[in-house]
Amino acid sequence: MMTADTHRTIETVWKIEAPRLIAGLARMLRDVGQAEDLAQEALVVALERWPTDGVPDNPGAWLMTTAKRRAIDQLRHNRMRDDKQAALEYELETEAMAHAPDHADALDDDIGDDLLRLIFTACHPALTRDMQVALTLRMLGGLTTPEIARAFLVPEPTVAQRIVRAKRTLAEKRVPFEVPRGEDLAPRLAAVLEVIYLIFNEGYTATAGEDWARPALCEEAMRLGRVLAGLAPREPEVHGLVALMEIQASRLHARTAADGTPILLLDQDRSRWDRLLSRRGLASLERAEQLDGADGNYALQAAIAACHVRALHAKDTDWARIASLYARLAKVAPSPVVELNRAVAVSMAEGPEAGLQLVDALQKERALAGYHLLPSVRGDLLFKLGRLDEARSEFERAATLTGNARESELLRQRAAACTDQ
């Protein structure tokens, strides 16, 4: 086999094996950073040996054995300096494992728990959001530092530094390698879901002419979501998030025209929606609802997205249901932006007058001051009601508030249209 091919194989094997490798090592060492370093060292050894020795039959097990041997060496070394009893116990446990048959299968029963621990550790609240994202992609996605940097459009040293700092923080704060229990679980799970959804949105909101890595981020986030759903199948919000991501991703290719202009939901060519993804999304939503999670934050957002997916044509959209889902969402996750969305749904279901009443109630909302969509939506409703002078001034205000040149231009055109009539 040619060396270049072997290198690609190694990279691929790495992407598949890295999470299991790091998770298994972290359990033995009780130190995620050290586990990641050891896994990387095993990768370096593979890069040295496989091109000449050939790729082993079970490359995952090979990497694990190599990393474990190094782990044992390190533990021995640590004991020389510091013979805490705990270290000795770990060593014994580790030695026993290292001598067990070198089949990854032998560890399969535990590895799921280890992966779950790894996800919770990577998204630990001791870390900043940037660190959580970088560490999650690195340890659970097997992405390299340059890949993460390219995906997030930040310089490589920035990502490298985030990872180093994250590992250091975990070690310094002695963050335990465990799945949170009891009342800790809900907020910690919410943090994990936020990280995954953030990765998804980073890919989803990328503008036209994007780097390949951006849509790939959506796929990566969906993959992480599916992995998590397999590890924590009883958690309805995990399924809710998977549903939300898959349904949104089903519209990914319909969201921009060939020239990169964004296409609004109601104007999209629905034949370009990906039916396999939306069907999977609907199935995940059903699972969330079966687990009594219908009123979860993500499940509700997924249910709203599902209303659009179920309508073959824009005119078939069940706006009354969307409006009621937004009302439920406002209870779970109160936010003026949700209220604004509800107002739009109500206006579609019951007419512009009903929507306008809700929008007017938001006028004093401080969080929305400076938010261009408020005057933009209000202008649209006033326009539909024939109150053109008021509509024009709203559109003009919205045009000055948006930071997006293309959108500003569109709003000015709408303002001008109010005068023409």
**Binding positions for other proteins, rule: CB under 8 A:** 8-9, 11-13, 15-16, 112, 216, 219-220, 222-227, 230-231, 253, 269-273, 275-276, 279-280, 312
- Between residues 171 and 314, which has the closer beta carbon with respect to other proteins? 314
- Which residue type sits at 393? S
CA distance 50 to 57: 11
In eight-state DSSP terms, residue 177 is S
CA distance 408 to 343: 22
- Between residues 104 and 343, which has the closer beta carbon with respect to other proteins? 104
CA distance 126 to 132: 9
CA distance 134 to 146: 11
- Between residues 13 and 302, which has the closer beta carbon with respect to other proteins? 13
Phi and psi dihedrals of 256, rounded to 5? -130, 145
- Between residues 244 and 323, which has the closer beta carbon with respect to other proteins? 244
Q: What is the closest distance, in whole angstroms, from the C-beta atom of residue 12 to other proteins in the complex?
A: 4
Q: What is the closest distance, in whole angstroms, from the C-beta atom of residue 345 to other proteins in the complex?
A: 23
Phi and psi dihedrals of 312, rounded to 5? -65, -35
- Which residue type sits at 60? G
Q: What is the closest distance, in whole angstroms, from the C-beta atom of residue 310 to other proteins in the complex?
A: 9
CA distance 239 to 232: 9
Q: What is the closest distance, in whole angstroms, from the C-beta atom of residue 375 to other proteins in the complex?
A: 33
Q: What is the closest distance, in whole angstroms, from the C-beta atom of residue 108 to other proteins in the complex?
A: 8
- Which residue type sits at 133? V
- Between residues 229 and 343, which has the closer beta carbon with respect to other proteins? 229
Q: What is the closest distance, in whole angstroms, from the C-beta atom of residue 60 to other proteins in the complex?
A: 9
Question: Concatenated DSSP letters for 247-281?
Answer: HHHTTGGGSB-TTS-B--GGGS-GGGS-HHHHHHH
- Between residues 60 and 355, which has the closer beta carbon with respect to other proteins? 60
In eight-state DSSP terms, residue 386 is T
